[in-house]
Amino acid sequence: MTSPLAVRMRPRSLDEVVGQSHLIYAGSPLSTIAESDAEANGRAVSVILWGPPGTGKTTLAHAVAQSSGMRFVELSAVTAGVKDVRGTMEKALNDRDLFGVQTVLFLDEIHRFTKAQQDALLPGVENGWVTLIAATTENPSFSVISPLLSRSLLLTLNPLSGEEISALLRRAIHDERGLAGSVDIAEDALEALVRLSSGDARRALTSLEAAANFAISAQEEVHPAITAEMVALAVDRALLRYDRAGDEHYDVISAFIKSVRGSDPDAAIHYLARMLEAGEDPRFIARRIVILAAEDIGLADPSALPLAVAAAETVQLIGLPEARIPLAEAVIYLATAPKSNAAYTAINSAIADVRSGNMGPVPIHLRDAHYAGAKKLGHGVHYQYPHESDAGVVQQQYLPDELKSKKYYVPTQHGSERTISERLTKLRAITKPGEQ
């Protein structure tokens, strides 16, 4: 049976790997392992590869194995148990001591290993019986035991860029191991495959293979061409007209922002789904959500910004497809939260005054009085310390004379700002009597 295209196109050396250039360079840990010979004697350090699916964790391990002269053993956490791990370690020790052969152990999905299974790896890693290359899609800080983490280098893989995915697809079409030039592909079809991959090389190659099979069976030409419509039919997924650098990108994100601002969670979720399905970078969406929380919800709901930041951090932590859930939660929360742009307009108004030169000197009683001679200049004289007041606030001018009656922050009556407004009215009655 012919192997899947993604397997056939697996790089045979680190030189053939596309992407992850921050991990592949002269003297890098992976290059060091790849250049080791059978008698490396444990010089290569163990590594843990962490990244989303399809970013090349298994590919890197196999490329290292092809380049290295060391014995390569692969275990999957889905099927291997403690007995398998111990057996591998014993054989690696024997091979090293009896034959001078060093072993590279590739362990896929290490996050699925129990603590006991991971403990079984420690002697081999600690004593250099094996060079461990472990792969995980989960944050190793939570899924890998500390002793193993401390004995390994953590290498983070990034989703592949559109250009990198495109290069992989073109290579697969022309390479003898791949489709060997048996099909052509239209540019819009290539762009569709790149979008649908969401940075996942395996998904991109699997979709290409399905589209190529569809094109070959549907056409009689010697070199049938894959079209965008064939891609849609082959992968059973609607292709969205969505150019990340074009009008559709700006139109959808604009509609998304305005739907959240307009308190319509259904519309907001719809546009979120459109962006995700079109392959928009979830980190871009997360940044917009954080800005929305600060700009449009503000202090009407002080919990909105921390929740948005938490969603953005979660996107970085787990990636797609799971990241769609915290993104959706944040979007629904922000859309249904009370709205206020009072803090936004306050800082904009203050910056406008500063840029126009409408500032004035700092009142003399507020100036720094901690250096020699400051008191002689009157700095800090007559300053009233609010904590010495029973009310915790005193009548005192803080703004420069030119702006002493200025009010930058005008809270709304929405959500928590209603309470802030009531408190601020009382505070201003004390600090600025007669100006209410």
What Cα–Cα distance (Å) separates residue 165 from each residue in 181, 209, 332? Answer: 18, 14, 32
Per-residue pLDDT tens over the stretch 346-355: 999 889 988 8
The mean pLDDT value of the chain amounts to: 84
Per-residue pLDDT at 434: 60
Stated pTM of the model: 0.56
Q: What is the 3-state secondary structure (H, E, C) of 235-298?
A: HCCCCCCCCCCCHHHHHHHHHHHHHHHCCCHHHHHHHHHHHHHCCCCHHHHHHHHHHHHHHHHH
Structural domains present in the chain? 20-156 (3.40.50.300), 162-235 (1.10.8.60), 247-336 (1.20.272.10), 342-431 (1.10.3710.10)
Region 125-148: mean pLDDT is: 87
Cβ pair 73, 162 in contact under 8 A: no
Cβ pair 416, 302 in contact under 8 A: yes
Per-residue pLDDT tens over the stretch 241-289: 555 544 566 788 889 999 999 998 899 999 999 888 777 888 889 999 9
Per-residue pLDDT at 185: 92
Bridge partners (DSSP) listed for residue 71: 103
Per-residue pLDDT tens over the stretch 380-431: 778 878 887 777 887 888 788 888 888 888 888 988 888 888 888 888 887 7
Instruction: Name the amino acid, one letter, at 280.
Output: E
In this structure, the strands spanning 47-50 and 153-156 are parallel
Per-residue pLDDT tens over the stretch 285-322: 999 999 999 999 999 999 999 999 999 999 988 888 88
